[in-house]
Amino acid sequence: MKQIGKCAGQGGVKDLELWGPKGEVCGGLWEQSPRYDVAVRNASDIRLCSCTGHGGVNGVKLWGPEGDYCAGIPQGWGTYSADCH
């Protein structure tokens, strides 16, 4: 069973949360970066959806559990609600 975890983003945005496969590198950045391993949930328990991040990278698509705040930021970024599966 595939597991989903979250990690703290490394881009300098306070409280940024990223979601991804347990054990993979947070944000797909550098090998020494943290791994997705906090608050692990089974993939069968959630629908993953996307949202558009606003951290200075034009059009970056972030993924997370349907309905949660985009990147864990409650003010202004909306929720994970597009491209759900």
What is the structure's pLDDT at 55?
Answer: 66
50: in domain? yes
Domain ranges, residue 44: 3-72
Q: What is the pTM of this model?
A: 0.62
β-strand partners of 7: 18
| Number of domains present in the structure of the chain | 1
Q: How far is CA 22 from the centre of its chain?
A: 12
What is the structure's pLDDT at 81?
Answer: 92
pLDDT tens sequence across 66-80: 898 888 887 778 898
66: in domain? yes
Please answer whether residues 72 and 79 qualify as being in contact, where contact means their C-beta atoms are separated by less than 8 angstroms: no
pLDDT tens sequence across 25-67: 876 666 666 787 766 666 677 788 888 877 656 667 788 888 9
Model confidence at 4: pLDDT above 70: yes
The residues, ordered by sequence, that sit 6+ positions from 40 with a Cβ below 8 Å of its Cβ are 3, 4, 5, 22
